[in-house]
A and B are shown apart, each in its own frame.
Chain A
Amino acid sequence: MRLAAVVWLLLCLGTVFATVALNFRLRTSLPPLAEAYVEMVPRELGAPNVITGILLTYRAFDTIGEVAVLFMVAAGIGLLLGAGSKTDHVSELQREEPEPSTEIVRTGADIMVPLIALFAIYIMAHGHLGPGGGFQGGAVIASCVLLVLLAKPDYRVKLAQLSVTESLAGVLIVLVGVAGLVFAGGFLDSRVLPAGEFGALVSAGAIPVLSVLLGAKVGCELSVIIERFRA
């Protein structure tokens, strides 16, 4: 009975999806809004990466909301798995001393962690020049923390420092936004700083600054989430 309902639902959805996929026509030119973005981002913002320009200037308010969602998730997971409830949900198996990781994992982590951290900074700082940006760099930083936790099970992530860094980055993002309101076209307008030479590392106004701040904030939030999940 239940299986029949599931199959029926999947068939209906499959019909809808197949209709969409079969009737999809490959576009040969950009729609007007996309065309405007592709022309405006390099000309007005001086950022070669159009997607970062959209994310960090034209739709930067969305990005702030997204970071706020991530913050709420970190806080909510802290509420669910945090210190208060730690004693009752840790099973007998987990309460024992964590098993030390093998030589391969430890040595590999020692070699890889600095490289991964460097790569994360590269991704964040080059968000306006190529593929990358704050969220991606932050995720790479969190993968770095995860690797450290795998290699050294007794390592404690310093939650207090992370929350200070995270709040500081958040405040600075909003301050840059307010600066855009005062000195440029609107909230989070990246043109508060000069556009600089097109394609240089320090260019495209406030976009690299916002990118690095976002990366720090996202990296801290994801690291806190990873630490919480360790129970």
Chain B
Amino acid sequence: MTISHAVLTTGFLLMLIGIWGMLTQRDILRIIIGFALMGTGSHIVIVAIGYVADGTAPIIDSALAVSDAAGRAVDPIPSALAVTAIVIGLAVTAVMLAFALRLHAAKKTLSIDAFANSKW
């Protein structure tokens, strides 16, 4: 059991909680929160996968010389991908919230049951 296992477990648990929330909640805002939780969990998993034993942030400064960077830095690629994932997650969440506002304007409720007979 290492720090990576603990962080990975946290991330996966967050993803499961998010999926559970998306599938069982009837309120659109709670479904969106479930989606955001799932996204956060996946970001944590991505970053945890990039960890290298006893690694530090891949930033060259007085604490990390260029010569031993390759031996002591963590994998920078998952971190770079996590930045991308966070931005896209924010974008998707924003669009979902906008749709939720429009749905609320149409039926004056945010319960998903009110939209059960919606046609495509």
With contacts A43-B66, A48-B61, A51-B76 known, is A21 near B23, CB below 8 A? no
How far apart are the CA atoms of A55 and B61 in the complex, in Å? 19
B12 touching A20 by the CB < 8 A rule? yes
CB of B105 within 8 A of CB of A89, answer yes
Knowing A3-B24, A38-B69, A135-B83 touch, does A77 contact B95 (C-beta < 8 A)?
A: yes
Complex Cα–Cα for A77 and B23 (A): 25
Residues of B within 8 A of A30 (CB): 52, 70, 73, 75
User: What would 19 more interface pairs be, CB under 8 Å, given A28-B53, A91-B108?
Assistant: A3-B24, A6-B24, A10-B16, A10-B19, A14-B12, A20-B8, A24-B4, A38-B58, A48-B59, A49-B58, A51-B58, A51-B59, A59-B80, A73-B91, A80-B99, A89-B101, A130-B59, A133-B83, A229-B97
Q: Chain B's nearest CB lies how many Å from the CB of A107?
A: 30
Within 8 A of B (CB), among A169-217: 198-199
Specify which chain B residues have a CB less than 8 angstroms from the CB of A164 in the assembled complex.
none
A38 touches B70 (CB 8 A): yes
Assembly CA distance A81 to B95 (angstroms): 10
Most chain A beta-carbon neighbours within 10 Å: one of B50, B77, B95: B77
Report A-chain residues with C-beta under 8 Å of the C-beta of B37. Answer: none
Binary A-proximity of B73-111 (CB < 8 A = 1, otherwise 0): 101110110011011100100110111011011001000
**Chain B nearest Cβ from A131, distance in angstroms:** 7
Residues of B within 8 A of A33 (CB): 77
Chain B interface bracket (under 10, 10 to 19, 20 to 34, 35 or more): 35 or more
Bound-state CA distance A37–B81 (Å) is: 14
B115 at the interface (CB under 8 A from A): no
The minimal Cβ–Cβ distance linking A138 to chain B, given in whole angstroms, is 9
Q: Name the one of B61, B99, B105 contacting A88, with C-beta atoms under 8 angstroms.
A: B105
Cross-chain contact of A10 among B20, B52, B66 (Cβ < 8 A): B20
The total of interchain contacts (Cβ-Cβ below 8 angstroms) comes to 148
B73 / chain A contacts, CB cutoff of 8 Å = 30, 38, 50
Collect the chain A residues with CB atoms within 8 Å of residue B101's CB.
80-81, 89, 229, 231
Mark contacts of B51-75 with chain A using CB atoms, 8 A cut-off: 1 yes-contact digit, 0 otherwise.
1110001111100001001110101
Q: Which residue of A lies closest to B69 (CB)?
A: A38
Bound Cα distance A35, B4 (Å): 20
Given the known inter-chain contacts A6-B23, A26-B2, A27-B52, please indicate yes or no for A42 contacting B69, CB distance below 8 A.
yes
Chain-B contact segment, one of A62-70, A116-124, A143-151, A152-160: A62-70
B91: which A residues are within 8 A, CB to CB? 69-70, 72-73
Q: Which of B59, B76, B87 contacts A135 (CB 8 A)?
A: B87
Contact for B76 among A13, A54, A91, CB less than 8 A: A54
Among A21, A51, A91, A231, which residue has its beta carbon within 8 angstroms of that of B9? A21
Of B51, B77, B94, which contacts A225 at CB under 8 A? B94
- Are B76 and A37 within 8 A (Cβ)? yes
Do B98 and A80 touch (CB < 8 A)?
yes
Given A88-B105, A130-B61: A28 touches B84 (CB 8 Å cut-off): no
Least distance between A133 CB and chain B CB atoms (Å)? 8
Knowing A130-B59, A199-B61, A225-B94, the reply to whether A17 touches B12 (Cβ < 8 A) is yes
